Structure 1
Amino acid sequence: MDRMLFLAMNGAKHVARQQATTANNLANVNTNGFKADLVSFRALPVVGDGAPTRTYVVDNTVGHDLSRGSLLHTGNASDFAIGSPGFFAVQAPDGSEAYSRDGGYVLDTTGMMRTRTGLPILGDGGPITVPTGMRVQLGEDGSVMATPQSGTDRTPQLVGQIKMVNPTAKEVYKGEDGLFRINGGGTAQADANVKLVPETLESSNVNAVESLVQMISHGRQYDLNVKLMQSSDQNDQKATQLLAMG
């Protein structure tokens, strides 16, 4: 009976973990560039005496959905999206290179281009800085053109090019901060086939209806495991009573 209790307890624990992942996806349904986490169950054999066919299941994060979200034209010159598979490079808080699809930028007091979460946007040579008093225009290839707003010379100047990469889904993992990184460390090579779409934002690729259905399913699975735990406990109590009477 104890084995049934432990199996049901393990099932409830891992269903709760799946529900937490689904809840996180649902919470980011309006987060630009967010990519949904994918989870599944996998079977593991029970170690110990007894039939070798006994198994239990555990939650397993199998990756992330890299499908593109909807593109929304905003008309805002400081917005941009990645219009093809791939990412643009940012500098993570620890100084390492990471990748995102949450486009859009702001210029800090030094003119450095940063994401709206404050991360420096990287070019091939490091963070991109725009001289003060210039209007920025982004190109499809990630080029950053700056045009003087005063003086007689209004010729656009190339001040940098946003690094865009396209590693395969198996080459990257998503960290707890939502940024993607290369498995095993290192950086990805720039890919000229990745295209930037100016004045546009990419929405989350989370399907809200599907996530809500998953939440309901997880809740029912959790309740079923709890009922199995209760049944196992009741059977143990009855067995103990019978032994006491004997």
Structure 2
Amino acid sequence: MTTDALFGDRSFAAFLFDMDGTLLTSIEAAERVWSAWATRHGLDLAAFLPTLHGKRAVDTVRQLGLPGVDAEVEAEVISQAEIEDVEGVREIGGAASFLASLPADRWALVTSAPRALALARLGAAGLTPPAVFVTADDVTIGKPAPDGYLMAAKRLGVDPAECLVFEDAPAGIEAGERAGASVLVIQATHTAPLDSSHPAIDHYEGVRASTSSDGRLTLSRVAA
């Protein structure tokens, strides 16, 4: 058995996780709901669907600039539909066991989903939310702005530059970078690797976190 240290001898004060595409996959459910909404508004699905991921619903709608559309009202409608449709939502391989191995005060969740939707998806995937749980409801500006990750680090009482962000989407990766954190890319839901210079893993199976006597975390990949 061999061990590959993903960040060399670097250790971290805390791990900060995105949710969709990082700890669980919700693509099937999200694209069902958003496809129905986009069709009603006459959007080109092939062009529109790839723009969804990693951002708050209100930001996605607002950026379209659709005449006569209230972005906040539409985002509420979409979020409620997503809460009601969690079919196919499941954990990314090994995520639950990996999270259970972490000290409770050393990790946080930072998602672009509203809290009610995040709780619905976590429940469907069999994942327990952490004590520090930042959602779309907690920030004024969503990803790619760093606000959510900065807030999570502050609530954990750590320096953002001492954190490792787990992300899957370009908007979230940029948010982690702008927060000053290191980034690990999760590729479980990608059909092709992202164009990123950051280390990447496909899933959490065979990935191990170790905690030192002073509470700092290291990350390694174990291969048979």
TM score, norm. by length of structure 1: 0.22
Larger strand share, 1 or 2 = 1
Larger helix share, 1 or 2 = 2
Q: Which has the larger radius of gyration?
A: 1
